């Protein structure tokens, strides 16, 4: 377990419960992965909320771009929370 800014993150949570990346059927030939997300989080009308929806195909070389995009957004969210705390302390 890690503690980050008074937020506790469990090391063993099911991080594939809502979103996942799996190798495509021919990954051994193409190296691609498929990004899936639960229907309730998709932009597809009438998507079954509890079923995984195939969102896109990601070549293996783009996985690092996805990681960096996610990392950047998490960093921005963290900075936003810090600023909101400062604003609340000094209105």
Task: State pLDDT tens for residues 51-83.
Answer: 999 999 999 999 999 999 999 999 999 999 999
- How far out from the chain centre does Cα 31 lie? 21
CA 88, CA 78: separation in Å to the nearest integer? 16
> Is the pLDDT confidence value at 2 over 50?
no
Residue 9, sorted as left (phi over 0), alpha (psi -120 to 50) or beta, turns out to be: beta
This prediction has a pTM of 0.76
């Amino acid at each position: 377990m890690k503690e980050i800014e008074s937020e506790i993150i469990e090391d063993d949570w099911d991080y594939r419960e809502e979103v996942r990346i799996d190798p495509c059927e021919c990954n051994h030939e193409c190296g691609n992965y498929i990004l899936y997300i639960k229907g309730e989080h998709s932009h597809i009308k009438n998507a079954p909320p509890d079923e995984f929806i195939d969102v896109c195909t990601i070549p293996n070389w783009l996985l690092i771009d996805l990681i960096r995009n996610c990392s950047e957004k998490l960093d921005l969210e963290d900075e936003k929370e810090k600023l909101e705390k400062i604003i609340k302390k000094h209105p």
